[in-house]
A and B are shown apart, each in its own frame.
Chain A
Amino acid sequence: MKGQTEMKIIKIKKEAWGQGLEKLQSEFRLFGPVADKDGFEFKELAQGQLPVMDLGNTRLSAKSTVYPQTQVMFNYTLDESKEDHHIMKEVDLNGQPQAVIGLRPCDAASFQLVKRNFDNPEYPDPFWVRPYEQSTFVGLACDNPSPTCFCTSVGGGPYSENGLDVLLSREGEVILAKVITEKGEALAKAAGWDTDADENVFDERRDAAEKKITAKINSDQLKGKNANDLFSAPIWEDIAFACLNCGTCTYSCPTCWCFDIQDEVKGTEGKRMRNWDSCMYPLFTLEGSGHNPRPVKEMRVRQRFMHKLKYYPDKYDSDVQCVGCGRCIDLCPVNIDIRDVCETMNNYKPLKSES
């Protein structure tokens, strides 16, 4: 676990913010929300580029900063005149340290949920673990949560420090930074941010922000339910009817981690990469034999919700695999709403209990 530090709050004025970020760029690759057409997304910041800090959450999550949609894992050559032909060579994962600036507490928490999958003792995944370890997460607290934010009912909050090294809170031009970990302390030092704040307004602002969150999910009954009962419940046809089986929910979700491995060869040079995949696609489960265990969309939709709300909590003895960012609700083209699906699952009672 990251080293905890004695809580320290720093005051950063407008000029110091820009100057500090610029200083950081000599040491870190910086990622932050930047304008992209009519929305904004996490991208690597160009030299001197400031992250957008005064709008709501990004359209897509911050997961791409550690786990990009396309990630090369190995390179190889088919040129037989080369000594190492046909040998996979792992890409260098010891890159420059990076800092993700301005991610919201929901996105920060998502890395902690996803970590259970990628950083488990049995199969640690270096392609996720290394970039994650090299990252410092500088979060931005949410003083104006959106109507579809429900982080507080899945263990998070607009001022949650879970998964963060620094938590920022903005008021006008002044930014207050709460340093949470040693990593965060090192970043603040490298940026030259060292003016102690005279007051701690975090608790007060947290209470005010939490009060603004009106959306919620109820998952309290799910743990006690039999997974097979839910699996065979007659609820899925109705839930799934509208679904187009596009990948919008999974691609925008900070906690969806599935990928597909592909080789691409151009001339004699090849690369093996992984790309985000989606359990909404028929190809996701299509086997080499031609058999597909999830041939129809009801099954695929059921898989997504069962994984997030039932299998994951059961497997890891944890809360649901959802951080309440609300993106899938906002972006679903046919308005399938995880809050409603969770409610249906939570209230479901089998006609004849098998237990």
Chain B
Amino acid sequence: MLTYAEKIRELSAQLLREDKVDMVIGFRKGSLPMSNEPCMVKNPGDADKLVWDSNCGVNLASYLTDRKERIGIIAKGCDSRNINTHIIENKIKREQLTIIGVPCTGMIDKRKVSNSVDFDIIEVIEEADKVIVKGAGSEQTFDKKEVLRKNCEVCIHPNPVVYDEMVAEKVDINQDVDRYADVREVEEMDSDDRWQYFEDLLSNCIRCYACRNACPLCYCPTCFVDESQPQWLGKSTNATDTRGFHFLRAYHCAGRCTDCGSCETVCPMGINMRAFTKKLEKDCLENFEWQAGLNTEQRPPLDSFNPSDPDAFVK
């Protein structure tokens, strides 16, 4: 990880110095344990602020939308797929970008770590594949794989799919992973249980829209929840309106979502709204053999028609 950061700084400083980009978008060290802050660097001298560790979970593709500058961007596997999606959807041009690829070894689930220790966390250190959590007079060590975010546990695209530079050799990909065990569990429920499952899932949503705003796919100039003439959705804490928001948002991400996990990571209430998007991701894979953002040549399934598209739903 340390070598990643050094290489990121070196490449970023070089890009800025040679005036190949106007800014580099990356992460700087956060003020709390297990937190880094997305940032932009415009001067080569500031490139040493850039960091990389297992707390860079926010998807940086979100910060590219409609920007006009020439941008260097640090991209792990999921970020790179969302960069491709952004290019397909005309939210950024490939020529504007210099992509510094990071082979990703997975991001830490901050909440999982906090809930696994019974002390206030003062410092978290990563050493090889260990995560050492320190409090005042207490210490606990985890294997990194025990405290990964759920989407990282089942990730099959940790290496950037598009890049101009790479900070290290690609990492091995775990192809044997069962990506959809959790989705099948919900699919197998009867309709009452499933309804109850989703009701519980969303019961503490405060409609802060952190999930939407962190999502690189959610760039609509006016989101449907903000439409007021006419108003599409109520704004109170009414459960139907809250569900309406989550259902519609998920469907709007169908065939576009890369399961980057930003939505779940940023939720202040710890809601796993990936339960929705992953089901749609599975459907896209099964029906259209589609995984979002792997290249820029293929059109996404929901904006293209193919005579061989499955039509079993037509009765």
Contacts and interface: CB of A to CB of B under 8 A. Distances in A.
Partners in one complex: yes
A275 B270 CA distance: 22
A333 B37 contact: no
Contact of B270 (A39, A248, A262, A335): A39
B268 A252 contact: yes
A335 B234 contact: no
B40 A241 contact: yes
B36 A335 contact: yes
Contacts of A60: 206
A247 B209 contact: yes
Interface string A121-165: 000000000000000000000001011100000000000000000
A173 B208 CA distance: 38
B58 interface: yes
Nearest to B30: A335
Contacts of B269: 37, 39, 59
B58 A275 contact: no
Give the interface SS of chain B, mostly helix, strand, loop or mixed. loop
A248 B268 contact: yes
Contacts of B120: 56, 144, 146-147
A38 interface: yes
Nearest to A244: B213
Contacts of A347: none
B32 to A, nearest CB: 6
Contact of A336 (B37, B121, B206): B37
B235 interface: yes
B156 interface: no
Contacts of A144: 120
Interface stretch (A174-182, A221-229, A277-285): A277-285
> Which of B58, B203, B265 has the most CB atoms of chain A within a 10 A radius of its CB?
B58
Contacts of A275: 235-237
B5 interface: no
A334 interface: yes
B38 interface: yes
B204 A41 contact: yes
A281 B39 contact: no
A52 interface: no
A59 B38 contact: no
A37 B265 contact: no
A247 B226 CA distance: 14
A282 B213 CA distance: 12
A56 B120 CA distance: 10
B108 to A, nearest CB: 14
Contacts of B203: 37
B204 A246 contact: no
A264 B236 contact: yes
Contact of A283 (B35, B37, B208, B226): B226
Given A241-B38, A275-B236, A333 B209 contact: no
A342 B40 CA distance: 20
Contacts of A252: 268
B132 interface: no
B226 A337 contact: no
Given A69-B237, A70-B237, A329-B31, A244 B40 contact: no
Interface string B264-281: 011111100000000000
18 contacts: A39-B270, A70-B238, A146-B120, A147-B121, A148-B32, A241-B38, A246-B212, A246-B213, A247-B210, A273-B236, A275-B237, A281-B226, A282-B226, A330-B32, A333-B266, A335-B30, A335-B32, A336-B37
Interface of B: 30-32, 35-40, 58, 62-63, 111, 115, 120-122, 203-204, 206-210, 212-214, 226, 228, 234-238, 265-270
